[in-house]
A = this chain, B = another copy of it.
Amino acid sequence: MTTLPEHFARPHLVDIVVWEGVELLDVAGPAEVFATARSGGVPAFRVRLVTTGAPTVTTQAGVVLQAAGRLGDEAPFLLVVPGGASERAVEDEALLAAIRDAADRAEIVYSVCTGALVLARAGLLAGVPRATTWHGALERLRAEAPHLEVVGDRRWVDHGHLVTSAGVSAGIDGALHLVGRLLGGEARLAVARHMEYADGAPPGHERA
């Protein structure tokens, strides 16, 4: 059994913020990973979807998700910002303000895919030197945050409080990395095995 940091004696809140047109797998990959992770034989995380708007959202895949709360009604330990319809999300001032506030109260902020563009617009990437995003949005992220070194050959980039992953399926890899960082390699491996997924190793696909 993995020895746990004391603060994992109870499940920690993972809030995944969703909006109309969010990318389904950006949400579901991390949700699956964090919900599967156990510490001391019990779930390490409690995963919720949260919104700032209507409680149900239709993902780009057409699958409808129902949020369990509103962003900001609790302070999340880990705030996940997925991608999808990011061109609309970056214009939604109420969403950006709520993300800024929740990020301030969260131990870790984790963007998946074009969620990095949302973090950039919210001003949350100002303090980090390096980030990644979906391969189709690398140039957009460079334009959005000129100080950033935007890397296109990493599944995830970890700067402690701020973690960014590459596109869609890479959200699984970054989440597995976070499980390893927070709970140890044995916990990470247990999740990867349950999911029959490579243990955080990049799939063979070459980034464009």
Contacts and interface: CB of A to CB of B under 8 A. Distances in A.
A119 interface: no
A47 interface: yes
B62 A46 contact: yes
A197 B193 contact: no
Interface string A85-105: 000000000000000000000
Contacts of A207: 196
Contacts of A25: 28-29, 32, 195
26 contacts: A24-B31, A25-B195, A28-B29, A28-B61, A34-B61, A35-B60, A36-B61, A47-B61, A47-B63, A48-B62, A49-B64, A56-B66, A65-B65, A134-B196, A135-B196, A168-B195, A168-B197, A169-B196, A169-B197, A192-B205, A196-B203, A196-B205, A198-B203, A199-B205, A201-B204, A203-B203
Interface of A: 23-25, 27-29, 31-32, 34-36, 46-49, 56, 60-68, 134-136, 166-170, 172, 192-199, 201, 203-205, 207-208
